[in-house]
């Protein structure tokens, strides 16, 4: 008999993390691989943030902290929510976790009972369904079409809500599509949610700071304040400050929920790293002006990638408002034949073909619940993005129409 618990059978390893590892492995083996699977900025963590960590170490801040975060970091988070999102939280209404991932996990573990439903708009970030499943909940997927920029419509939300719905997960700008909800779109979703007081809202705002063309960013509790007492607003320093390895995420929400999440954390990991918390405090309270340059640089890359992909045979790609992902369709490649005689039947076949023929690593849309698409992270140098897109163009041009049977 297996030693493993039944719950392990419900989940799979994170496909994004597996592909990031695969690209690193191939690179280490000397392959000329271009890895566009990983959702992490290629910039170094700014020095003022590193200095915050050095100072903390020198000052002996190397011991346990309060489970839910140091007073300094909580204060910085409360100020951030007030300044950026017009949301007021008290001390017992915020929590710091080991990455946004742990915060989301704690929230679902603290609230979801057996069989309760979690509404997830597809395409979704890979870990939402598996976290819901680990918490013994039922992910309920709502497909969001490319025509609607992969965003959830109020009608589809209404139809997905049942008496068993516990949460709606919203993610704007989205991983994997980069699409972001406007203020009006959030208000329209909010109007539906107001009619269903048993539904809680988990707003994953991890890419808030990475938006382009002056996109006006809003989060749902700000747009629809009546929902604030059943909304968990999740954010973190990983993407905006290029701090993926430091593992600091945070959330604001009702005290009862935050207390329950802190209780779970107290019995699992205790506090997030004290040094990382000091660095995150520096990140949130320091000069934010570098962000403008970073976004400018991401935007240039987005524009090149979108244009080069749209020039590839069989690929079409929207221009998203934020994050550093594009989610092109490869529908025009399905049914075609590779030079060595394999027929591309799915987006997984297509990304496998890109890997084998051109050594470009992307994540297939099947990992995000909407096919036939694939995700490219353009948080890479312009040079490697141009080279990767040229390789994709070449791979697409080498496909031939399938001979009639």
When the beta carbons of 18 and 285 are compared against ligand GLU, the nearer one is 18
Q: From CA 143, how far away is CA 370, in angstroms rounded?
A: 7
End-to-end Cα distance, the chain: 47
Please report whether residue 175 would count as binding ligand GLU according to CB under 6 A. Answer: yes
Phi and psi, residue 374, nearest 5°: -150, 155
Please report whether residue 14 would count as binding ligand GLU according to CB under 6 A. Answer: yes
Among 38, 41, 123, 137, binds ligand GLU (CB under 6 A): 38
Angle, CA 328 vertex, CA 327 and CA 329 arms, to 5°: 125
C-beta nearest to ligand GLU: residue: 39
When the beta carbons of 125 and 294 are compared against ligand GLU, the nearer one is 125
Binding residues for ligand GLU restricted to 197-226, rule: CB under 6 A = none
Q: Shortest distance, CB of residue 376 to ligand GLU, whole angstroms?
A: 11
Please report whether residue 16 would count as binding ligand GLU according to CB under 6 A. Answer: yes
Phi and psi, residue 162, nearest 5°: -130, 175
Q: Shortest distance, CB of residue 21 to ligand GLU, whole angstroms?
A: 10
When the beta carbons of 15 and 154 are compared against ligand GLU, the nearer one is 15
Binding residues for ligand GLU restricted to 118-147, rule: CB under 6 A = 125-127
Q: Shortest distance, CB of residue 127 to ligand GLU, whole angstroms?
A: 6
Q: Are strands 200-204 and 165-171 parallel, antiparallel or unpaired?
A: parallel
Buried b (16+ CB within 10 A) or exposed e, 252-279: bbbeebbebbbebbeeeeebbbbbbbbb
CA 394 to chain centre: 29
Q: Shortest distance, CB of residue 113 to ligand GLU, whole angstroms?
A: 26
Phi and psi, residue 364, nearest 5°: -70, 150
When the beta carbons of 125 and 167 are compared against ligand GLU, the nearer one is 125
Classify residue 163 by its DSSP letter: T
Please report whether residue 17 would count as binding ligand GLU according to CB under 6 A. Answer: yes
Q: From CA 93, how far away is CA 233, in angstroms rounded?
A: 11
When the beta carbons of 14 and 182 are compared against ligand GLU, the nearer one is 14
Which of 270, 253, 254 has its CA nearest to residue 262?
A: 270
Q: Shortest distance, CB of residue 324 to ligand GLU, whole angstroms?
A: 10
Please report whether residue 39 would count as binding ligand GLU according to CB under 6 A. Answer: yes
Residues near ligand GLU (CB under 6 A), total: 9
Six-digit token pair at 386? 């141009």
Residues at the site binding ligand GLU, with contacts judged by CB under 6 A: 14, 16-17, 38-39, 125-127, 175
């Amino acid at each position: 008999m297996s030693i493993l618990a039944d719950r392990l059978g419900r989940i799979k390893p994170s496909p994004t993390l597996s592909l990031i590892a695969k690209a690193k492995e191939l690179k280490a083996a000397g392959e000329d691989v271009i890895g566009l699977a990983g959702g992490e900025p290629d910039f170094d963590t700014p020095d003022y943030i590193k200095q915050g960590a050095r100072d903390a170490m020198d000052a002996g801040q190397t011991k346990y902290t309060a489970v839910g975060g140091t007073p300094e970091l909580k204060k910085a988070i409360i100020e951030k929510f007030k300044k950026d999102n017009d949301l007021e939280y008290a001390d017992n209404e915020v929590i710091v976790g080991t990455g946004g991932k742990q915060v989301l996990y704690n929230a679902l573990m603290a609230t979801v009972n057996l069989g309760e439903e979690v509404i997830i708009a597809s395409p979704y970030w890979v870990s939402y369904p598996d976290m819901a499943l680990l918490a013994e909940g039922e992910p309920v997927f709502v497909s969001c079409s490319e025509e609607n920029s992969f965003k959830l419509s109020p009608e589809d939300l209404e139809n997905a809500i049942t008496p068993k719905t516990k949460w709606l997960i919203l993610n704007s700008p989205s991983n994997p599509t980069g699409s972001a909800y406007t203020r009006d779109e959030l208000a329209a979703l909010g109007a539906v949610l107001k009619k269903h007081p048993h539904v809680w809202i988990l707003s994953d705002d991890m890419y808030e700071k990475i938006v382009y063309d002056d996109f006006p960013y809003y989060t749902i509790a700000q747009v629809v304040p009546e929902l604030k007492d059943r909304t968990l607003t999740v954010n973190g320093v990983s993407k905006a400050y290029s701090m993926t390895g430091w593992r600091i995420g945070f959330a604001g929400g009702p005290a009862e929920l935050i207390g329950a999440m802190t209780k779970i954390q107290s019995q699992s990991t205790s506090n997030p790293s004290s040094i990382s918390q000091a660095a995150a405090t520096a990140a949130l309270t320091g000069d934010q002006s570098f962000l403008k340059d970073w976004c400018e640089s991401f935007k240039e890359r987005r524009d090149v990638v979108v244009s080069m992909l749209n020039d590839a045979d069989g690929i079409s790609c929207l221009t998203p408002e934020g994050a550093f992902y594009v989610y092109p369709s490869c529908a025009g490649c399905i049914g075609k034949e590779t030079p060595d005689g394999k027929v591309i039947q799915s987006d997984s076949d297509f990304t496998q073909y890109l890997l084998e023929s051109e050594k470009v690593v992307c994540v297939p849309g099947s990992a995000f619940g909407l096919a036939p698409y694939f995700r490219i992270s353009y948080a890479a140098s312009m040079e490697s993005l141009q080279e990767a897109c040229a390789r994709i163009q070449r791979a697409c041009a080498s496909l031939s129409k399938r001979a009639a049977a």
